[in-house]
A = this chain, B = another copy of it.
Amino acid sequence: MTKQPAKKVETRIKDTELIDQRRRQIAEGAIEVFVVKGFHKATVREIAEAAGMTMGSMYNYVRSKEDIIYIVYDHITRILRTEMNAAMEGVDDPKERLKAAVKYNLESVNRYSDMVMFMYQSSRSLDRESLHDMLGRETEYIEMFEDLLRQSLAGQEVSEFRLRLAADILAYLPVIVTLRRWSLRQRFDSMDEVLDGILDFALHGTEFIPTDQEGRKPLFLAGD
């Protein structure tokens, strides 16, 4: 189910454990710099410093600045995926699982807002292969929502098309917390309330899935 990322950043170094450790350092250092200055304005020297190594050293684990961006994407998505799995662990009821997934998605996007913002702003700088890799992960992520929706609506007559589309939207909607952060901060007092509100909206939206619109019963009630 989890297809492994195809891309591998090649290096001159042999010691694979060291590679992993250095890559982690690089990812963390790079994120620090990227969220402040963005990819283009960050210099590799700054990144190396933030990563606790010298420029020359870093180039032993990376072939180009573009490689760094891939490592960062990989690092971030790995974190998000890991936390997502943890968040849903132990929740068995399908509807609850769906709700937990959206809720977690909201919270993590909110928590890692800077990183997510960075990802949305820098995708253009990924090379072809890395971009493909990332889009693949996104697809997996959406498909997870698809499964959750399908299980939640088991027994009802559903529009497959709408179900799939809803999955896309549920995966995407929480990102509002990042991309419209400024607007939301301006217009609302409490971000927690906002998160709850978005969750409500999202779940209400899913009601458009069942084919039988007249007799349908709401999946969720506001404030559930």
Interface residues of A (CB under 8 A from B): 38, 40, 120-125, 135, 138-139, 142, 161-162, 164-166, 168-169, 172-173, 175-176, 179-180, 182-184, 186-188, 193-194, 197-198, 200-202, 204-208, 213, 221-223
Query: A142 touching B183 by the CB < 8 A rule?
Result: yes
Name A172's closest neighbour in chain B (CB-CB): B176
> Considering the chains assembled together, what is the distance between the CA atoms of A193 and B161 in angstroms?
9
Question: Known contacts A169-B198, A173-B173, A183-B135: does B208 contact A188 (CB below 8 Å)?
Answer: no
With A121-B120, A161-B193, A193-B161 already in contact, the answer to whether A208 and B222 are too (CB < 8 A) is yes
Return chain B residues, CB-CB under 8 Å to A172.
176, 179-180
Closest to A187 in B: B164
CA distance A179 to B120 in the complex (A): 8
Contact B213 A182 (CB under 8 A): no
- Whether A205 contacts B213 by the Cβ 8 Å rule is no
Tell whether, in the assembled complex, residue B186 and residue A168 are in contact, meaning their CB atoms are under 8 Å apart.
no
Query: Known: A179-B120, A207-B204. Is A198-B165 also a contact (CB below 8 A)?
Result: yes
Please name the residue on chain B nearest to A131 by beta carbon: B182
Taking a contact as CB atoms closer than 8 A, the residue among B125, B162, B194, B223 that contacts A213 in the complex is B223
CB-based nearest B residue for A220? B208
Q: Measured between alpha carbons, how far is A135 from B125 in the docked complex, in Å?
A: 25
Chain B residue contacts of A194, Cβ below 8 A: 165
Compute how far the CA of A193 lies from the CA of B186 in the bound complex, rounded to whole angstroms.
Answer: 34
